[in-house]
Amino acid sequence: MNDLQPIVDAAHAAFALAATPADLENAKAQFLGKSGRMTELMKGMAALSVDEKKTRGAAINLAKQAIEAALNAARQALADAELAAQLQAEALDVTFPGRKHGQGSLHPVSLAQERIEAIFGSMGFDVAQGPEIEADWFNFTALNTPEDHPARSMHDTFYVEGGSATAPNLLRTHTSPMQIRYAVQHVKKYRALAAAGSTNAEQLFSGAMPEIRVIAPGRTYRVDSDATHSPMFHQVEGLWVGENISFKDLKSVYLNFITTFFETDALKLRFRPSYFPFTEPSAEIDIMFETGPLKGRWLEVSGSGQVHPQVIRNMGLDPERYIGFAFGSGIDRLAMLRYGVNDLRLFFDGDIRFLSQFGS
């Protein structure tokens, strides 16, 4: 017995020194392996008598069990230490205050656009969208602005790849191309319905076609940049074409829109003679607030006019029969006036301190 205890003690000491599972397995081999110390002791029993084998065997077994128990304890201690280290490394303090994610809100220009869509929607206008990369035909030529027309220089155009050498594609300089795009679709659709003998009375205007009544909001582009001009800006096009749509309708629709948009009747509206190739006559629409910080100043908010007969023709309609008005207003300008913003560039800087003031 006496000669066994030091071996057990040595095993304890060796296992305690092992810093990794591999160290521990090496230490184990020294005692319990094929040529380990305990195995050697067992081999040494061969020479003993039967009685001696009994007592010696029992003693060796006890020592072996003690070493195995020490080994298991050491294995467990290593596993516990490993887990503790891992937990430490991945420690998460759940009592720490969380990082807040801002609530986010619509951009003031989007808010203005939503308002515009809701107001015109309530007056029976459809809302249409069109491409920002536009063909020369839709942006200029179809709008009665042929290639050599001096009015083309009114727009500082960004040209892009595509199109033809004489008529390259461009970033639309206004939303007016949507007049043509929408009207052509509309006319095509109702011509097809009429050809198919549609008798849906609700859809039919004058027995053939419902009026064209649409707004088209969206991004527009011009080479221009200062406190009131941005190379990318927003417009909303308005178009109403029927058999008897006059300037009177333009005035009532626009006045209705603008008083609803600004939530006040205390404003005046005036038409100022102007020129656009695609309207005749043409006018700028100015408004003047009768109260508030902008009181007493005429502010230009829109171009407008009666749709030019050539444009009506390019829509696929007979100008002897169809007539209407169009307008194009700056959405950013309307948003600036509504929210009291004096520098257009603030809308596009993406500064959260500015934008967060419009959360609703």
How many angstroms separate the first and last alpha carbons of the chain?
A: 87
Interacting residue with ligand PHE among 328, 333, 336, 355 (CB under 6 A)? 328
- Cα(217)–Cα(279) distance, rounded to whole angstroms? 19
From 108-116, 161-169, 325-333, 339-347, span contacting ligand PHE (CB under 6 A):
325-333
Nearer to ligand PHE, 116 or 326 (CB): 326
From 119-127, 134-142, 276-284, 286-294, span contacting ligand PHE (CB under 6 A):
276-284
Cβ atoms of residues 179 and 326 within 8 Å: yes
CB 282 → ligand PHE: shortest distance, Å?
Answer: 6
Query: 235-272 burial string, b = 16+ CB within 10 Å, else e?
Result: bbbbbbbbeebeeeebbebbbebbbbbbeeeebebebe
304 touching ligand PHE, by CB under 6 A: yes
326 touching ligand PHE, by CB under 6 A: yes
Beta strands at 232-242 and 133-134: parallel, antiparallel or unpaired: unpaired
Nearer to ligand PHE, 28 or 113 (CB): 113
Cβ contacts of 263 within 8 Å, gap of 6 or more: none
Interacting residue with ligand PHE among 28, 174, 186, 308 (CB under 6 A)? 174
176 touching ligand PHE, by CB under 6 A: yes
276 touching ligand PHE, by CB under 6 A: yes
Nearer to ligand PHE, 221 or 276 (CB): 276
Cβ contacts of 142 within 8 Å, gap of 6 or more: 177, 180, 311, 314
Nearer to ligand PHE, 4 or 250 (CB): 250
Cis-peptide, bond into residue 6, ω within 30° of zero? no
Interacting residue with ligand PHE among 305, 331, 333, 355 (CB under 6 A)? 305
Question: Would you put residue 305 in left (φ > 0), alpha (ψ -120 to 50) or beta?
Answer: left
- Token readout for 191 is 């011509």
181 touching ligand PHE, by CB under 6 A: no
Q: What mask of x and - would describe binding to ligand PHE in positions 234 to 273, judged by CB under 6 A? A: ----------------------------------------
Residue 159's CB is within 10 A of a number of other CB atoms, namely 12
From 1-9, 42-50, 181-189, 320-328, span contacting ligand PHE (CB under 6 A):
320-328
217 touching ligand PHE, by CB under 6 A: no
213 touching ligand PHE, by CB under 6 A: no
Cβ contacts of 356 within 8 Å, gap of 6 or more: 102, 105
Residue nearest to ligand PHE (CB): 328
Nearer to ligand PHE, 14 or 326 (CB): 326
Q: For 226, which DSSP code?
A: B
- Token readout for 281 is 């006559």
Nearer to ligand PHE, 190 or 327 (CB): 327
Give contact residues for ligand PHE (rule: CB under 6 A): 174, 176, 276, 279, 282, 303-305, 326-328
